[in-house]
Structure 1
């Protein structure tokens, strides 16, 4: 598989894996792969939280503009 994180992902999610593509999986490699996966997960969660906050702020802004438009029309 050509994806750069293929090996580390497989090692992380397949806990019983002892060999992958003819290459042994060592405990140090497994620890490194798990650490990398954890860091990437945390970065993704941070990005998701930022996007969610921006989305909520935009919705509030739209709602406020809509309410002002209704008030001005009355």
Structure 2
């Protein structure tokens, strides 16, 4: 079922924390994708094998979604 409580008016502090949480989600997501797919990053971290870069990228993407779910739970409880 859809939760339309997210459209309620929020205080400036709640709005700022929501935007900051979304920015952190996007940052971790982009970093994870960059570790996996961006070739110049692979040249820069030459000491990490390919499977290590993919593992780090997957971990960062997983962590981004955990933060997003946490943000949704924390936001709806207030």
Q: Which has the higher strand share?
A: 1
Structure ranking higher on relative contact order (CA contacts 8 Å, 6+ apart):
2
TM-score, structure 2 normalization: 0.44
Larger Rg: 1
TM-score, structure 1 normalization: 0.46
Q: Which has the higher helix share?
A: 2
